[in-house]
Chains A and B, each alone.
Chain A
């Protein structure tokens, strides 16, 4: 095997363009995928036409909420582009300078204050199905966030007005008497009066008034809680079932490194085996000079060693930008080694079955990219039947277990590293066997 290894290293060293492509392409793909995963969704660029008069307010009992606060909430959710008129907004949407336009009508404050007519915004957008989907998902979410923020302002104002009614004092409303008694002060005051009142119809009437005041005060206090419940009926409490929370950026690193590992190992192993056939040297080798098993082991090992080196170099390089725990480096190496060997086994199987370098390379690409994407499909994002199918496919190939192994090694996520390593070892055996069957006809 030593001389075969030396020969292959020599051939690799003399195929510099191939080696450069083999390393540059997967690294570029890996970085793109990592970038796409780690990058938080950008705020959509939206034209906003605020037609409300300056200083217009929504009246909530004794309080006033400036309509401009709604605009501020909306501004914080999008990349706002202020325009003066609806026509300008439409022009910006048409010229694709903005994703969409939102028109805030002049009567929004009147409608919100009425309590009976719902206020309405105008959302203007066009574009292809992708843009429309983006507007549906991103902009509607931004508007919902702005609505929520504004409704919190209104709730606070309403809660303040209820407080004043309960506690009394100066309402601050034009024409209202000063130093008003609060609703909660009425029941004890009436009880004090009732104590000195002789029995009779007047006392009975006062007792009924006191009972009502007590009931009203207690229910008004409850209404404050009701207000906050209506504003946000359900709060979210997150519970992570397994492992620890994985930061998105380190997961992106794991994905990028696994993709690189996969490409280098599979392409090199598949190409190496197919090259022996293409050079017609395979028959010469396997007629007693080298066993088929040794040949496959040599190709797989060389590819695994190259992939392992590239992947570890990537991981080490990325650690300059993303915080990784170097104390876990031993586990990284373990995960990378098992992943590399499993990918190498898949590569030699492809090479043995494809029979020529171009077909092997094409098959390796055709297989690798979908495998990576299928393994990244989150549960619940597709129909359950389709998700089950992706799980079965991912289980049968080394990408997902390699990703899980490296994720466990880097981020201590689940499943445990040992489980993934066992899975990878089993896949190595299966693909090794498949490769041996593929070489059976190498006469």
Chain B
């Protein structure tokens, strides 16, 4: 669904190379490597404690890897562009309005012209009429839209979202995915983590399966389901069934 813009195999917008993360005795990530390309939607899935949030945090730059590196496209690096980041919970100022939040982060991102960027995000997220409302007065869905808008205000080449639809109702979830897919069609690479495997199956071009910090699979969702079926797991039918079967096959 998000693959209208053909992935550029030669020049990925994001390269995760041999990333490992250790918290004391706990090895949260082990030698994880993959690429994300322009316009591609990559879902990071796995059970609780698999290392999804840690991987997203390292991609977003809020944590440093113990080993390995995360590299963006050369042109974006030269322009000082960062990976756009949408944390799981809204990371914004509740006493500021929607526009003030966007304006603040546009300025902190040192955009040459912050106002047009703010207007663009307000239009794209459908929050133009709520621009002057304080965040504390918005619904959870609208707050998450602002959260995503702030992650995109600097028009980053790649956007990392940590369980973006976790606190949304079905209608809000649908609207959020419409917006994310539109960005993907515009060429933004999307990497998101989720527990809702139906979303990964429906929207992702590729899934990264993590468990106990290890990357166990990297490929299209259909390929993952076929692989699980091929191992005699029966008719997987859905990505969710496939993942459960896959982990059971591995004895996890």
Contacts and interface: CB of A to CB of B under 8 A. Distances in A.
Nearest to B82: A288
Interface in B78-109: 82, 85, 87, 89-96, 100, 104-105, 107-109
Interface stretch (A152-160, A278-286, A383-391): A278-286
9 contacts: A4-B108, A7-B93, A279-B94, A281-B91, A284-B105, A288-B82, A289-B105, A290-B108, A443-B57
Interface residues of A, number: 19
Contact of B95 (A10, A288, A289, A443): A10
Nearest to B93: A279
Task: Name the 4 nearest CB pairs between A and B, nearest first.
Answer: A280-B91, A287-B61, A289-B108, A283-B62
A15 interface: yes
B196 interface: no
A283 B107 contact: no
A216 B174 CA distance: 120
Interface string B43-68: 00000000000000100111100000
Contact of A289 (B90, B96, B109): B109
B62 A443 contact: yes
Contacts of B105: 284, 289
Contacts of A7: 93, 96, 100, 104
Contacts of B60: 287
A4 B57 CA distance: 23
A350 to B, nearest CB: 21
B82, B91, B96 interface centre (most CB from chain A within 10 Å)? B91
Interface of A: 3-4, 7, 10-11, 14-15, 279-281, 283-290, 443
A113 to B, nearest CB: 82
Nearest to A8: B93
A10 B100 contact: yes
Given A283-B87, A284-B91, A289-B105, 19 more contacts: A7-B93, A7-B96, A7-B104, A10-B95, A11-B95, A14-B95, A15-B95, A279-B91, A281-B91, A281-B92, A283-B57, A283-B91, A284-B105, A284-B150, A287-B60, A287-B61, A289-B109, A290-B108, A443-B63
A337 B55 CA distance: 45
Nearest to B107: A3
A21 B209 CA distance: 52
Contacts of A283: 57, 62, 87, 91
Contacts of B95: 10-11, 14-15
Contacts of A279: 91-94
A4, A284, A288 interface centre (most CB from chain B within 10 Å)? A284
A1 to B, nearest CB: 10
Interface in B118-161: 134, 150
Contacts of B89: 280
A10 B62 CA distance: 26
A443 to B, nearest CB: 5
A286 B82 CA distance: 12
